[in-house]
Structure 1
Amino acid sequence: MNLVSHQAALLAATMIESGIETIITEDGHLRRIPGITVANPYR
């Protein structure tokens, strides 16, 4: 069972390696990854 898609995992790994903690997106799948904060611009 995959918690996140392959693409989301690559994005999260790149964010963590680059010291980026927050992403602005409507996609909530990255919320499952510790260290990543997801901000939805429409909420």
Structure 2
Amino acid sequence: MAFFTQAVNVLKILVMAVGAGLGAWGVINLMEGYGNDNPGANAHVR
């Protein structure tokens, strides 16, 4: 029974690590989205 308890604890750690990674990736993507507010970068020259 101890093996199953240890396996569940390892799975909990893996799930938390994946969740933290996805959360950090989401925050980075949100911050990159706000970088497009530079008026000079939006100048479409013909």
For the aligned pair, the TM-score class normalised by the smaller chain equals: 0.3 to 0.5
More helix per residue: 2
Q: TM-score, normalised by structure 2?
A: 0.33
The answer to which structure, 1 or 2, has the higher relative contact order (CA under 8 A, 6+ apart) is 1
Tell me the TM-score normalised to structure 1 length. 0.35
| Larger proportion of strand | 1
Could you say which structure has the larger radius of gyration?
2
